Amino acid sequence: MLKTDACLSAPAASIAAGIFLWISANAVAFASDADEEQTTIDQIVVVAHKDERSIREIAANVTVLSRAGISDELATSINDVFRYVPGIDYEGAGNRFGTEGINIRGIGGNRVAIVVDGVPLSDHFDVGSFSNATRDFIDAGLIENIEVLHGPASALYGSAAIGGVVAVRTPDPVDVLRDRRTGGDLLATWRGADDSVQGQALVGLGDDALGLTAGYTWRSGHEVDSAAAGDSLDTRETDRKTALLKLVADDQRGNTWRASLIHQDSHTLSSLTSMLGAGRYRSTTALEGDDQYNMDLLTVSYEFGAPEGWIDNGVVRGYYEIADVEQKTLDERANARTPVSIDRFFSFEQQIAGLELNLWKDFSTARAAHRLGFGVEYRERETEEYRDGLSTDLTTGEQTNVLLGEVFPLRDFPITTTREFGAYLEDTMNFGDWTVIAALRADRFELSPSQDPMYLEDYPFAEIVSLTESELSPKLGVIYKISPGIDVYAQYSHGFRAPPYADANIGLEIPLFNYRAIPNPDLKSESSDGIDIGMRWQGLSSSAHVSLFHTRYEDFIESKVRLGADPVSGRILFQSQNIDETRIEGIEAGWSVRWNAIGFDGSAYYAQGTNKQNNEPLNSVGPAQAVIGLSWYSEDESRQVRLKATLTDAWDDRDETSGELFEPPGHAVFDLFFSQQLGEKMTFRAGLHNLTDRTYWNWSDVRGLSSDDPVIPYLAQAGRSASVSLNVRW
């Protein structure tokens, strides 16, 4: 249980003290080498300030995943990409819908901003058991790098970043060309865990002044071969295609134009046989899904600079995105008293258009060197959703569009337009060994639902709610450089999230169960206040970092809170409401050391969350985890062998006031990787996963499931499996 003050709980404090002592001891041991060389290897990141900065200029924890690292780990999906990053988890949506989002430090869903080349992706939305619009990523094969900013980031990113930011960058022509006029990158990967095959082709043409990147990935796979299920009853066949076209051109002034188009479509067929014959599916004889996801993203940006002018550099970016989800479900109930076949249809479409301007200027005063950043942003989203249903009597052939008293088609919220206006100012002030970072962002959020005829026909009692919210999001960070390779930092950051359209105007009316949901005109924005304290050490062949965090969230929005009976209609009323306060605190750490041919690396995460309204744990916060790696490199670096150990604690700190939940046990999983360069252009990679054939579950896959849920065995991870890939680059 967490303490009620801002201090870390005893277990976290003990872990923190141990890691701090370890890093400090090693820092002292190796600092002399770094001081003698007066050189450290700096990592450059963009996500924390929206322009390129050394990671030592950031008063927060940032995780960076490179294209090379993703390839070495034979990753083909987001589940694989974050597998060895404690504290960052994918959010599972069962054995039909796959992955629906990313969780950072126990906060996920639409509370985490996911951006591709600076452009936000569409929202996640789900309702019931048959409708789930996930936040689909582009394929791993078209990712140049991923930067993850841990903790509230609304001071730069606005409403969507109360929990953090996941920033994806796709390859520029120079990334493929590598100082040549033409270049390419071909990769073929097979993974045994789900019998999937992925092909990737990247081609670059041109030079630094004018270049073109064309990329295409294709992935086809099946359900995961669950170690707990034996012969799987559930089947899942997925085909996914992603295409990228990017043009980069410099004008006569040396400024840079970028234009890119990303198209993605995926198609998944599933049969959920494991759910049949139990609970609500006791009379169901077939349950099949047909899900399609399509996304088009167009981005145009102009990077300009005039160091002798009133700004040093800037970027203006415009974008348009459309995401479309269509899901069909066949629910055949041949064993029912009246045999029926039910066809369900779900549609979710979101269009996003935006314009962003960021400017930076370096200048000096008598006491400090400044880098001033300024930005303005406008974003508009139009969201449309509906569900349809048709029940056919298998005996008589009669059909009806009334299911459980709901009359289809219907909407769960009216067609809604949201508009976001934001402006921020950030000043990075350097006082020698001290750096102070101060930022403030002002946001205005408008939620404008239409007088939707379909929504009003379904819910004539509802009063459609429009909302306007404003917020100021400050950030203040301090960095102190103890030596050329060691620094400590502390940061306060504020975050907020405006009320979502689906919560403000929730629609639900099920006469058979006497249920009704009503809009909430008094819904308030969520807010957060986070404190990070950390230490970093960077040498020529070794590095380490540790970060303590404590974040308080207020007015968290909980969907469909039961209010009780309406005295007028007699219906049981539900409404989205704000929760008073929640807190999450914990520690993150990482380290890496290279001694000639041997490398050692690791990372660890521990957190606790509490709902202060009832003093129960937060079920969005996962168990403690550590990842340890041991690597061997040949003398010419052409061959590499790596052993990864993932150690995960039992997930037993949960809120079970609504019923007993399945507790995934703690586990240790070992993976072995091998890579071999074959000449100058070809690389062969292989992996053996789960060497000990351990049966285990990722906590995020089974979150919220009761201990007797029949689907649990089918959500276990694969047993021992293999993967191979062949990469050709020129």
pTM, two decimal places: 0.91
Beta carbons of 406 and 128 less than 8 angstroms apart: no
Burial of residue 397, with CB atoms counted within 10 A of its CB: 0-12 exposed, 13-18 middle, 19 or more buried = exposed
Give 474's strand partners: 440
Q: Is 270 left (phi over 0), alpha (psi -120 to 50) or beta?
A: beta
Which of 34-38, 63-67, 458-462, 576-580 shows the lowest mean pLDDT across its residues? 34-38
Which of 2-11, 354-363, 448-457, 591-600 shows the lowest mean pLDDT across its residues? 2-11
pLDDT at 28: 45
Residues 6+ apart with CB under 8 A from 412: 127, 385, 387, 502, 506, 507, 508
Beta carbons of 188 and 726 less than 8 angstroms apart: yes
Residues 6+ apart with CB under 8 A from 228: 695, 697, 712, 713, 714, 716
Beta carbons of 720 and 714 less than 8 angstroms apart: no
Q: Report the percentage of the chain scoring pLDDT > 90.
A: 68
* Cα 516 to Cα 575: distance, rounded to the nearest angstrom: 9
* Cα 685 to Cα 677: distance, rounded to the nearest angstrom: 9
Q: Is 671 strand, coil or helix?
A: strand
The number of CA neighbours under 13 Å toward the Cβ of 14 is 3
Q: Is 76 strand, coil or helix?
A: coil
Buried b / exposed e over 79-108, threshold 16 CB at 10 Å, is: bbbbbbbbbbbbbbbbbbbbbbbbbbbbbb
Pairing of strands 113-116, 164-169: parallel
* Cα 555 to Cα 472: distance, rounded to the nearest angstrom: 16
pLDDT at 164: 95
Structure tokens at 644: 């990864």
pLDDT in tens, 416-441: 999 999 999 999 999 999 999 999 99
Calculate mean pLDDT across residues 579-600.
94
Calculate mean pLDDT across residues 367-374.
96
* Cα 301 to Cα 117: distance, rounded to the nearest angstrom: 10
Q: Which amino acid is at 406?
A: E
pLDDT-derived band at 170 (thresholds 50, 70, 90) equals: very high
Nearest to 95 by CA among 649, 723, 709: 709
* Cα 143 to Cα 138: distance, rounded to the nearest angstrom: 8
Q: Is 22 strand, coil or helix?
A: helix
Question: CATH class for domain 10-729?
Answer: mainly beta
pLDDT at 676: 98
pLDDT in tens, 431-470: 999 999 999 999 999 999 999 999 999 888 888 989 999 9
pLDDT in tens, 508-550: 888 878 888 888 888 899 999 999 999 999 888 899 999 999 9
Highest-confidence range of 4-13, 445-454, 698-707, by mean pLDDT?
445-454
Which 8-state DSSP code applies to residue 661?
B
Q: What phi and psi, each to the nearest 5 degrees, are found at residue 634? A: -70, 165
How many other C-beta atoms can be found within 10 angstroms of the C-beta atom of residue 721? Answer: 20
pLDDT in tens, 261-310: 999 999 999 998 877 766 667 788 899 999 999 999 999 999 998 777 78
